[in-house]
C-alpha cells in the first residue's frame, strides 16, 4: 500500500522544497509538479511532491489521517 501525506510548503529552492508535516520539516523533490509556491499544500510520496492541493482539501485529509491513526 502507498500513502501520500499532505504537507505545507515552507521554502522553495529550485527543484526542492522544505515541507512541514505538522511541525516536522522534510526536504522533498518538486520534479513532478510545476509552479509550487510557499504556502501551497502538496501530497508527498517517497520524497516527491505528487499533487498540489487546496487548503480545504489538505486539512480535510490531515484530519482524516489523524482519526485513522488514533484508532
pTM comes to: 0.89
| Residues 6 or more apart in contact with residue 69 via CB below 8 angstroms | none
List pLDDT tens digits, range 1-57: 678 899 999 999 999 999 999 899 999 999 999 999 999 999 999 999 999 999 999
For strands 5-13 and 24-29, give the pairing: unpaired
For residue 54, the model assigns a pLDDT of: 95
Task: Name the grid cell of 65.
Answer: 489521517
Q: Which domains does the chain have, with CATH numbers?
A: 5-70 (2.30.30.140)
For residue 43, the model assigns a pLDDT of: 96
- In Å, what is the CA distance from 52 to each residue of 11, 17, 20, 67? 15, 13, 14, 22
Q: For residue 13, how far is the Cα from the chain centroid?
A: 16
Residue 8: beta bridge partners? 20, 41
Amino acid at each position: 500500500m502507498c500513502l501520500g501525506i499532505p504537507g505545507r510548503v515552507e521554502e522553495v529552492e529550485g527543484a526542492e522544497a522544505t515541507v512541514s508535516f505538522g511541525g516536522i520539516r522534510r526536504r522533498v523533490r518538486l520534479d513532478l509538479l510545476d509552479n509550487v509556491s510557499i504556502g501551497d499544500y502538496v501530497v508527498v510520496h517517497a520524497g516527491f511532491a505528487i499533487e498540489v492541493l487546496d487548503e480545504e482539501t489538505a486539512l480535510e485529509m490531515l484530519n482524516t489521517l489523524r482519526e485513522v491513526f488514533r484508532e
